[in-house]
């Protein structure tokens, strides 16, 4: 959109053109024709005015875009520099050292990792660390690719060993190589689609257990006269009406959730797994 300054220039230019046309019209009515010198001056003024306006419009746009780009780049540089400075801090090294047993356990687990999907994926499994529940022990997320059935497999470190979260493991939480969760709240959203049926689940994670808080499904069921889409709503394991379900669902603000995707993770063949886990935890701590 044009800013106020540009609009004023357009307004002035219009007034100038109108005034010039009135003068010429009056001269013609009076039987006079403006001499060439005056006509040339008038045309030069019109040309200068239009040229100045074009320069102003294009110049301001370029300068504003350049300024915004410089500000964004500067902010990114400052953030990166801050992280680099803190990476050398003693408190960060101490926090990472406190989770050395966890990182060691995850390292051994990933070095021996066997893909969970029943079919061969074209992508190499990738991993990341997240804070799912409220403690300082990071959870491990493994995503095996971009496929429809590829969600996030989540693991935690419990009683000296790595254990999967959830009893009904399936393809993990989510689909298409992504998983949504509430950081430090232990909430995971297990939305997925299968065979034309839609499932929306909300889980509460505590330790290695997941509790289904609520669920919604839209399933095609074959009847004698054809197929019908059946909607089912449940809260705390009990079937409820759509209105009751919606009243509970309103508290799950997805804009506050985090999304972990395959592209956010490090592949198992990217480098030294132990070093990558340490770097992942450092970044996780610094971005809190």
pLDDT digits (tens, 9 = 90+) for 123-156: 899 999 999 999 999 999 999 998 888 899 999 9
The residues near 256 (Cβ < 8 Å, ≥ 6 apart) are 182
226 plus 237 within the same structural domain = yes
pLDDT for 3 equals: 38
Spacing of C-alpha 54 from chain mean position: 38
Same structural domain, 83 and 180: no
Which of 59, 87, 115 is the endpoint of a domain?
A: 87
- Interior/surface letters 12-35, b for 16+ CB within 10 angstroms, e for the rest: eeeeeeeeeeeeeeeeeeeeeeee
Query: Are residues 162 and 275 located together in one domain of the fold?
Result: yes
Residues 196 and 75 in one domain: no
166: confidence class by pLDDT, cuts 50, 70, 90: confident
Report the number of distinct structural domains present in the chain: 2
Final residue belonging to a domain, choices 71, 87, 103: 87
Based on the domain organization, do 40 and 167 belong to the same domain? no
Q: Lowest-pLDDT range, 57-61, 64-68, 260-264, 282-286?
A: 57-61
Using 50, 70 and 90 to split pLDDT, how confident is the model at 255? confident
Please indicate, yes or no, whether residues 79 and 110 belong to a single structural domain of this protein.
Answer: no
Q: Do 128 and 156 lie in a common domain? A: yes
Indicate whether 147 and 71 sit together in one domain: no
Domain holding 74, by residue range, is 4-29+36-87
Q: Which of 49, 66, 87 is the last residue of a domain?
A: 87
Quick one: residue 209, left, alpha or beta (phi over 0 = left, psi -120 to 50 = alpha)? beta
Q: Give the single-character DSSP code of 55.
A: H
Give yes or no: residues 79 and 200 share one domain. no
Indicate whether 194 and 120 sit together in one domain.
Answer: yes
CB contact set of 173 (below 8 Å; sequence gap of 6+):
151, 152, 154, 166, 179, 181, 188, 189, 190, 203
Do 137 and 238 reside in the same domain of the chain?
yes
Whether 107 and 76 map to the same domain: the answer is: no
Residue 10: C-alpha distances to residues 2, 44, 57, 65, 88 (Å): 10, 17, 11, 22, 57
Over range 73-83, report the average pLDDT.
62
Contact 273, 108 (CB under 8 A): no
């Amino acid at each position: 959109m044009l800013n106020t300054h540009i609009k004023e220039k357009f307004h002035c230019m219009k007034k100038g053109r109108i005034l010039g046309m009135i003068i010429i019209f009056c001269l013609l009515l009076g039987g006079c024709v403006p001499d060439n010198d005056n006509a040339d001056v008038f045309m030069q003024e019109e040309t200068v005015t239009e040229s100045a306006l074009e320069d102003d419009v294009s110049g301001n746009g370029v300068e504003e875009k350049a300024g915004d780009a410089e500000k964004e780049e500067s902010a990114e540089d400052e953030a990166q520099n801050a992280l680099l400075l803190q990476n050398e801090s003693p408190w960060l090294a101490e926090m990472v050292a406190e989770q050395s047993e966890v990182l060691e356990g995850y390292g051994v687990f990933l070095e021996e990792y066997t893909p969970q999907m029943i079919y061969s994926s074209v992508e190499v499994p990738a991993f990341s660390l997240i804070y799912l529940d409220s403690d300082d022990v990071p959870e491990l997320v493994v995503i095996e690719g971009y496929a429809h059935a590829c969600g996030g497999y989540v693991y935690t470190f419990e009683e000296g060993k790595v254990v999967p979260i959830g009893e009904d493991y399936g393809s993990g939480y989510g689909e298409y190589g992504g998983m949504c969760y509430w950081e430090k709240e232990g909430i995971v959203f297990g939305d997925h689609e299968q065979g034309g049926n839609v499932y929306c689940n909300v889980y509460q994670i505590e330790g290695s257990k997941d509790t289904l808080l609520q669920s919604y499904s839209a399933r095609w069921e074959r009847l004698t006269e054809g197929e019908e889409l059946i909607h089912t709503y449940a809260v705390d394991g009990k079937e409820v009406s759509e209105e009751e379900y919606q009243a509970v669902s309103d508290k799950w603000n997805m804009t506050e959730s985090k999304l972990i995707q395959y592209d956010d993770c490090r592949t198992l063949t990217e480098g030294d797994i132990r070093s990558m886990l340490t770097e992942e935890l450092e970044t996780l701590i610094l971005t809190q």
